[in-house]
Amino acid sequence: MIERYNTDEMESLWSQENRFRTWLEVELAVCEAWMKEGVIPEGSLRNILERAEIDQERIKEIEATVHHDMIAFVTAVSEKIGPDGRYLHLGLTSSDVIDTASSLLMVRSLRLILDELELLSREILSKAFRYRHTPCMGRTHGVHAEPITFGFKLLNWYEELRRDQGRLHSALEVMRVGKISGAVGTYAHCPPSVEERACDLLGLARAKVSTQILQRDRHAQVIAALAILGSGLERIAQEVRHLQRTEVIEVLEPFYEGQKGSSAMPHKRNPVICERICGMARLLRGHNLASMENIPLWHERDISHSSVERVVWPDAFNLTHYMLKKTREVVEGMAVLEDRMAKNLDLLKGLVFSQRVLLGLLEKGFSREDAYVIVQEAARISLEKEEPFLEVLEKDPRVGGSFKGQELRSLFDMGYYLRFIDDIFGRFSAGEAVTGDQDVTRKEGLK
């Protein structure tokens, strides 16, 4: 991942130095397991634990000759240990160390992702409760449909992120395994008891069965969960982009003092953060495809997956972590233009109440087909002549003669469309949200 889109936490976790340290973590756990087996003397284990350390320059120097990073790593660490270095990597194949260490890295990365996702979810839920009675236009196909509230829109985001959280937890459990089972997974040179002890020390379950590697459906599930989350973040970012369009301008992403939107047009205030999030989601979906391609390897393994994973894993976690942080920045700092939302609700001069009028005519005895034609024709006239929909309907004798007093006008009550909003919000706990003074009810302005 290029530096521009790294996060400090993920950059540290996936650095080459930490990768070697995690390999060493696995090697030392296996040495301790061998000591319990009576193969490594207790004094030798103490010496190994005290003297084993990473020398990246020495590893690089050895690798330049042997062209094998694990051999270079084991050789360099053994040199630091001295004669007891012969116990390092005992009975192991490279993938025992690499795959078990990769599981640790992915589990730790997923926990960072889940922590950041929780912060974003709480912020969205807080905003959802704050704006739960703020009317705005619901749109389908990009076209005005019927009224909703802005909080209701945010609540949909929140619930999707909760499903993402569940998928990530499932992926974490699937990934929380190690394997210390040798060249083809048969434990020929390292008994199952060593694997069990080593994995226990590392906080991992042991794979019930493996080949030379852990099978890549596990890793694909992790990247798929990240890609789905990324697509959900894109959904949020894309919505803000649409709502920031000049013709809509209901929500604005943060714009900071001194920021400039265009090198040529000083008036521009572009949704660049949200556009960046949308672009990154495309990368994540590409990584998802690459991860699925890594599942069908030859026989007990080949190495075609390795080069892919060196790029995809750190990139996918960096991208996701960065996207989460940026999405939270957008949600925390977005400007919600309630007056503009109210103005847009009346943009079509009442046409959004067409279904209510249609149902009202059905109650008066009209057939559905006849009622639909009447309402559709009135909508066309209202739109073409820019005349209030209610006035057009009142002029139609078929409509005006069917309703008494305020009956027809009562069908243009926005509160009718929003009367179950509190019921929907009642399915969620407000305890995670910031309420109190921010919990502004707006029922007085619904009609």
Choosing from 141, 267, 307, 429, which is the catalytic residue? 141
Residues 6 or more apart whose Cβ sits within 8 Å of residue 176: 103, 107, 203, 204, 205
Active-site residue 141, yes or no?
Answer: yes
What number of helices (H) and strands (E) belong to the chain?
19, 6
Residue 343 half-sphere exposure toward CB, CA atoms < 13 A: 8
Distances (CA, A) of 196 to 21, 185, 193: 21, 14, 5
- Dihedral pair phi/psi, residue 30, rounded to 5°: -65, -40
- Specify the pairing of strand 143-149 against strand 177-178: unpaired
Burial class (CB in 10 A: 0-12, 13-18, 19+), 423: exposed
Are 341 and 135 a contacting pair, CB within 8 Å? yes
Choosing from 170, 193, 262, 367, which is the catalytic residue? 262
Active-site residue 15, yes or no?
Answer: no
Mapping DSSP to helix (H, G, I), strand (E, B) and coil, where does residue 146 land?
strand
Residue 33 half-sphere exposure toward CB, CA atoms < 13 A: 25
Tokens of 320: 């996701």
Q: In sequence order, what DSSP letters do the residues of 234-291 get, joined into one string?
A: HHHHHHHHHHTSTTT--EE----TT--S-SS-TT----HHHHHHHHHHHHHHHHHHHH
Tokens of 400: 């005006």
Which residues participate in catalysis according to the annotation? 141, 262
